[in-house]
Chain A
Amino acid sequence: MISNAHLRPAWLGVSLYSVIALAALVALLSYASPSSWGSFFSDPYTWRVVRFSFMQASLSALLSILLAIPMASCLFHRRFWGRQTLLSLFAISMVVPTIVAILGIVVVYGRNGWFTALFGQPFPLYGLGGILIAHVFFNMPLAVRIILQAYDLIPDAQWRLASQLGFSRWRVFQLVEWHYLKKNLPGLFLLIFMLCFSGFAVVLSLGGGPRSSTLEVAIYQALRFEFDLNKASYLSLLQVVICSVVALAVYRFAPPVRQDVSLYQGGRLPLRSSKWTSGLDYGVLSVVLLWVLPPFVAILSPVFTELFWLSLLDSQLWRGLWHSVRIALPSGVLALLMGLSIAAIARAWRWHPRRNRWAVRLEQSGNLVLMVPSLVLATGLFLLFRHLGVSIKHAYWIVVWVNAVMALPFVLRAIMPVMYQQEKRFRQLYQQMNIVGWSRLRIEWRTIRPALAQGLAYAVLLSLGDLGVVALFGSKGLETLPMYLYQLIGSYRVEQGACVAVVLIGLCLVLFYGITRLLGGRRAVV
């Protein structure tokens, strides 16, 4: 089986993800006693949490996508001053550590914040309002970038034809763009829904009490405060079941799309413009800027204070920075390797007459992890290690692996479209000359490296901002910057915390630009 031998390293990558995840889940579930679940099931608090999780996740996903579609269209069709900066800002706001963004949002919308100063009355931040502000802040930019990637897959020939036929922006959206976007929207909705459904840090900080809690927070409470593995297992299973039902429903109604590949490559051609589309562009741009910009300004404002320069001398800050980097870089690389493994096998199956159904399932399995709370994976892995007699000093590897797995859906989103497109266009050429494995990667390198860089950068930055898993093991010599920041905010040293936030953002920027330039090359989308 020469044709399959080159996929062996990929299988290793896939099992590194799936076998360990399965083992961790089994380890946790072995502590479950389903006979006692009846009392959990009839608990009205659980169902209130489920209802609220469901509502806030659906609203967050809908709002993010409804804003992202006109925003992406505007960014694709218009060239304006600051466009590139805005795209970079989106990239950052997607991966800015949650706790940092929450800090920025509190400064803007909090009781004594800018909003109160401007309008004379406070914004109802704690509860659904704050959760939506934060979730859209994180996920609308993600949606814009994923939709822009779909735009890039529209063949140039379609724009040439649209220009010849005198289509307006609205018409071109209806007849061309929508056919390419709608294939991506169900998956995108699902991604954002699951991210918000299992929202942890945002809901913990801005939920404002048990009235607006999510399952993930309930699981954290069960694990951290009650150490009730049985209850945690029940709540995790409940989360997995709800997410699976939503996923099945979304994929069932996902429309099939006729997509083509064209060899024509041309420049940008004019479309018929109208006042309506210009007005919509400016309107959407204003809403998005008002949503995303103020928290950033709020985070960066402490740079001009003396306290900022003083807190740079704090040795705990630099220790936190070192721990953050030594977790984030390996877990980013691990996530990219696992993502590439899934991509390699999925695309080898995609056009195979019998295995093509499995390609989609394999790709979806990378997203499955969004349904499984990271805390559950981490606890499961911890129990597994304990069962195998490995001591807790290996919590480092647990954190690295869980962070890598959690970043996998983002890595897949970044690399799958271009990996599939290469396969679709050149599959027969590669088959004819039997170019596989390493030699194929070298040929494709120039085309796929911007996507790989984007995937790696997301994974590293997500891991850098993680507060969930590291909060569970945080006291064992893994005090990362977000942990340190969380402790500072907890002990009401908010101003010093704001300074740590600036350093953390700086680190994010350095790593993001470093990775996209070094791995992505000059063509990388930043």
Chain B
Amino acid sequence: MLSFDVQYQWQNFEAHYQGQFAVGATSILGASGCGKSTLLSLLGGYVVGQGSIGFSGQDLSLSPPFERPITTLFQSDNLFPQLSVWDNVAIGICASRSLSSAQKEKVTWALEQVQLSDCHTKYPDQLSGGQAQRVAIARVLVRDKPILLLDEPFSALDPKLRSDMLVLIKTLTETYQWTTVMVTHSPADAVLLGGNVLLVEAGKIVAQTDAKKLYELPSESPFCDYLSVS
């Protein structure tokens, strides 16, 4: 269980997030600028707020990003352009890239999982956007952290590829019992990923529901307001 109670202030924007994420998928919806990505940055350790972030009895709020049991998949720039596909995955296990044979097999396995085995010698600028994000997912697999944060990583992909990716993430979340949190603009993506859906407005979590019931909520639910304009 990932629980948090954090406050954050930047210029005129004030946020106070309270809640917890259970094992499984959670999507965060909300208008642009409402503070969805800020919540992810706080959890990942890329901005520092005040308050507590706890996971399995451990306080993460003061840990640097690399000491948190978390992998974040960003909207872009998930790969080092100067490293090959293989190296980009291998640094998820060991930054020196001197891997044991078991670790090498793990990299091969992860690239197989995202169907990129034959691209391992290529460089990021030789890949399509979807392939690049799949390489990043392969690194998520080898890093083997219990929490996965997704900051709209598939927003630039075409609909078919995007749904393939979401299905892949959903399957992996269920298989490995991850706590997966995805920020998205698209209610359809949230439904496809399944699990819980949260609504963020003006730096606060204002509503929560099951993804399956997203389109069946009573009209007074804050979601209806958001969905009608989105």
Q: Which residues of A contact B (CB under 8 A)?
A: 155, 157-158, 160-161, 163-168, 171, 175-176, 179, 257-260, 262-264, 266-267, 269-270, 272
The answer to whether B64 and A264 touch across the interface, beta carbons within 8 angstroms, is no
A193 CB → nearest B CB, Å: 27
Would A176 and B71 be within 8 Å (CB), given that A266-B46, A269-B65 are in contact?
Answer: no
The answer to whether B77 and A157 touch across the interface, beta carbons within 8 angstroms, is yes
B91 is contacted by which of A175, A263, A270 (Cβ under 8 Å)? Answer: A175
- Interface residues on chain B, number (Cβ under 8 Å): 26
Interface assignment of B192: CB less than 8 Å from any CB of chain A: no
Please name the residue on chain B nearest to A273 by beta carbon: B64
The answer to whether A168 and B125 touch across the interface, beta carbons within 8 angstroms, is no
Classify the interface of chain B: helix, strand, loop or mixed.
Answer: loop
User: With A and B bound together, what is the CA distance between A521 and B45 in angstroms?
Assistant: 33
User: With A and B bound together, what is the CA distance between A438 and B38 in angstroms?
Assistant: 39
Interface assignment of B92: CB less than 8 Å from any CB of chain A: yes
- Per-position contact with A for B44-72: 1 when CB-CB < 8 Å, else 0? 11110000000000000000111100011
Q: Which residues of B contact A (CB under 8 A)?
A: 44-47, 64-67, 71-72, 74, 76-83, 91-92, 95-96, 123-125
User: With A and B bound together, what is the CA distance between A164 and B92 in angstroms?
Assistant: 9
The answer to whether B95 and A163 touch across the interface, beta carbons within 8 angstroms, is no
* Cβ–Cβ < 8 Å partners of B66 in chain A: 163-167, 270, 272
The 3 closest A-B pairs by CB, nearest first: A166-B66, A157-B77, A179-B82
* Cβ–Cβ < 8 Å partners of B77 in chain A: 155, 157-158, 160-161, 260, 262, 264
The answer to whether A164 and B71 touch across the interface, beta carbons within 8 angstroms, is yes
Would A160 and B80 be within 8 Å (CB), given that A165-B66, A165-B95, A171-B96 are in contact?
Answer: no
User: With A and B bound together, what is the CA distance between A262 and B80 in angstroms?
Assistant: 11
Please name the residue on chain B nearest to A171 by beta carbon: B95
* Cβ–Cβ < 8 Å partners of B47 in chain A: 267
* Cβ–Cβ < 8 Å partners of B71 in chain A: 164
* Cβ–Cβ < 8 Å partners of B95 in chain A: 165-168, 171, 175
* Cβ–Cβ < 8 Å partners of B45 in chain A: 163, 269
- Can you add 16 more A-B contacts, CB < 8 Å, to A157-B76, A161-B77, A163-B65? A158-B80, A161-B80, A164-B44, A164-B65, A164-B71, A164-B72, A166-B67, A167-B95, A171-B96, A176-B80, A176-B82, A260-B81, A260-B124, A260-B125, A264-B74, A264-B77
User: With A and B bound together, what is the CA distance between A267 and B125 in angstroms?
Assistant: 26
A258 is contacted by which of B44, B72, B74, B82 (Cβ under 8 Å)? Answer: B82
Would A160 and B74 be within 8 Å (CB), given that A166-B95, A175-B95, A267-B47 are in contact?
Answer: yes
User: With A and B bound together, what is the CA distance between A260 and B78 in angstroms?
Assistant: 12
Please name the residue on chain B nearest to A166 by beta carbon: B66
6 contacts between A and B (CB under 8 A): A164-B44, A165-B92, A167-B95, A260-B124, A264-B77, A270-B65
The answer to whether B74 and A157 touch across the interface, beta carbons within 8 angstroms, is yes
The answer to whether A269 and B76 touch across the interface, beta carbons within 8 angstroms, is no
* Cβ–Cβ < 8 Å partners of B46 in chain A: 160, 163, 266-267, 269
User: With A and B bound together, what is the CA distance between A9 and B51 in angstroms?
Assistant: 59
